[in-house]
Amino acid sequence: MPIVEGPFPAAAVAEWSHTADLVIIGLGIAGACAALEAQRAGAEVLVLERAGAGGGASALSQGQFYLGGGTSVQTACGYDDSPDEMYAFLRAVTTTDEEDKLRSFCAESASHFDWLEAQGVPFAREAYKHKAVYTRTGEGLLSTGNEKVWPFRDKAKPAPRGHQVSGEGEISGGNVAMKALLGTVEREGVPVLYEANVIGLVQDDDGRVVGVAVRKDGGEFFVRARVGVMLAAGSFNLNDDVTSENMPLFSRYGKPLGEPTNDGAGLLLGRTVGVAERGMHGLVATASIYPPEDLIKGIVVNAEGRRFVAEDVYHGRMANKLAEQPDAKAFLILDEEIFGYPKHGSHTFLDAYETVEEMEAALGVPAGSLATTLERYNADMAAGEDTEFHKHPDWHKVLEAPYAVFEISIPRSDYHWMSLGGLVTDVDGRALNESGEPIPGLYAAGACTNHLAQDGDEYASGMSLAAGSLFGRHVGRHAAAVAAGAPA
């Protein structure tokens, strides 16, 4: 059975079983935030959720929100940040052409943090100061991007912006966040139909989306939307057809992040009415070499024995650069002083080697290649500057025999990944067609839309939950304003 059908012509709908101003497809973070904002602003909302409960991938997530510009956690932890510094960093690291969205993401970030806390999402006023992918020790703030990485550290003042939801002992910070948001949705009486699978959009003769077709309890019915329908149905990470076409390497060797309903229903519903798509090859993958953070003092080389990246980069950037190497193959070379097992990624420990020549032969890299790489690297370290990739001095160290090597190749390690491309929207969350025009009556937000970061080079952990919740709120406010008489 196809995931979606349609679009269904409105003229053929004999009866609408429900009507609301804003009909939201999916109760993950984007849908929940839209629903709260729309209902509070006076709109009639109906959420249709395919699962037996809300949460989606949001409830499985680590619960990191990329927020800044001077949030109360940043300030309490002694970090200076401003919307301008946040923008300067994100402008430098991303290639997005959605300038208005990027600016609004930065300008509203600190107040959006306050809003999340006001819904009951908890963040501790304590910072984790080491390199980590996430923390489960209660800190509410850590660095989750490339802020301290060259050249970005020269373009914007680095500040940690990974806001980690608290919840020691919980299965994940995302679960804590979604419990709070879903609790608020319930307390405020937002109407939700569960086990309601939206299978198609309903369009009138003018191309306006006026409702949806729903399959529930073995039957089918139609729901009418006076103002609009919002696609908040999550990612397509678990849709093999879409991922094998767009991201063949990771689709073959990596492990997609998500839960069973992340089969791309939102994307496919958008396709039926001509929503434009952007960045469909983009993804962020992770099999971080840290922690322990001392491993960053090693070097990462490809199958030609050459470095290709600064080892202190955000783990998603490392995976992106690695994917570009021959056979997506790479090795992490350490010495005795910094040896440790990477916590993530199931990287394979190969062996320890007394000499560079022995190591070159065992790794199958060209004879002399590692000797040349190490000679230049060690000279740089001794001189205090990584002239090739500008690794931050915090991670400088001369490497000495004996060496130890982990293979971190994409086909051999566990690279978890999620897509970053998707449907195109404007800053209000209105879905756009190929000409950049809003498709009347259709909104979208969250992981079925394209992210501000186009790939792992650009991403910072937390950008998905932060943008999904913030732009979800934009949809709610816009739809409520239209319901109250503002132009669509």
Ligand X SMILES: Cc1cc2nc3c(=O)[nH]c(=O)nc-3n(C[C@H](O)[C@H](O)[C@H](O)COP(=O)(O)OP(=O)(O)OC[C@H]3O[C@@H](n4cnc5c(N)ncnc54)[C@H](O)[C@@H]3O)c2cc1C
- Helix or strand or coil: residue 305? coil
User: Is 248 strand, coil or helix?
Assistant: helix
The bridge status of strand 438-444 relative to strand 277-278 is: unpaired
Number of chain residues interacting with ligand X (CB under 6 A): 42
Which member of 64, 109, 119, 239 binds ligand X (CB under 6 A)? 64
Q: Does 197 bind ligand X (CB under 6 A)?
A: yes
Q: Are 211 and 225 in contact (CB under 8 A)?
A: yes
Report CA-CA distances (Å) from 279 to 4, 69, 427. Answer: 22, 27, 17
Q: Which is nearer to ligand X, 127 or 257 (CB)?
A: 257
Sequence length of the chain is 488
DSSP notation for 46-66: EEE-SSSSS-GGGGTS--EEE
Using Cβ positions, the residue closest to ligand X within the complex turns out to be 28
258 touching ligand X, by CB under 6 A: yes
Burial of 82 (0-12, 13-18, 19+ CB in 10 A): middle
CB of 486 vs ligand X, minimal distance in Å:
25
Q: Taking CB under 6 A as the criterion, which residues in 161-190 touch ligand X?
A: 174
Angstrom distance (rounded) from CA 267 to CA 412: 31
Token output for 269? 């519903």
Establish if 26 lies at the interface with ligand X (CB under 6 A). yes
State both tokens at 44.
């009639």
Q: Which is nearer to ligand X, 57 or 283 (CB)?
A: 57
* Residue 465 touching ligand X (CB under 6 A): yes
The smaller minimum CB distance to ligand X, of residues 158 and 316, is found at: 316
Which 424-463 residues touch ligand X, going by CB under 6 A?
446-447, 461-463
50 binds ligand X (CB under 6 A): yes
**Least spacing, CB of residue 393 vs ligand X, in Å:** 29
Q: Quick check: 230 binds ligand X (CB under 6 A)?
A: no
Measured from the CB atom, is 49 or 386 closer to ligand X? 49
| Dihedral Cα 472, 473, 475, 478, nearest 10 deg | -170
Rounded to a whole number of angstroms, the minimum distance from the CB of residue 56 to ligand X is 2
Alpha helices of 247-387 — where are they, by DSSP H?
248-253, 265-272, 315-323, 356-363, 369-383
**344 touches ligand X (CB under 6 A):** no
Q: Tell me the window of 55-63, 87-95, 270-278, 479-487 that interacts with ligand X (CB under 6 A).
A: 55-63
Residues contributing to the site for ligand X (CB under 6 A): 25-31, 48-51, 54-58, 60-64, 174, 197-198, 232-235, 257-258, 261-262, 265, 418, 446-447, 461-465, 468
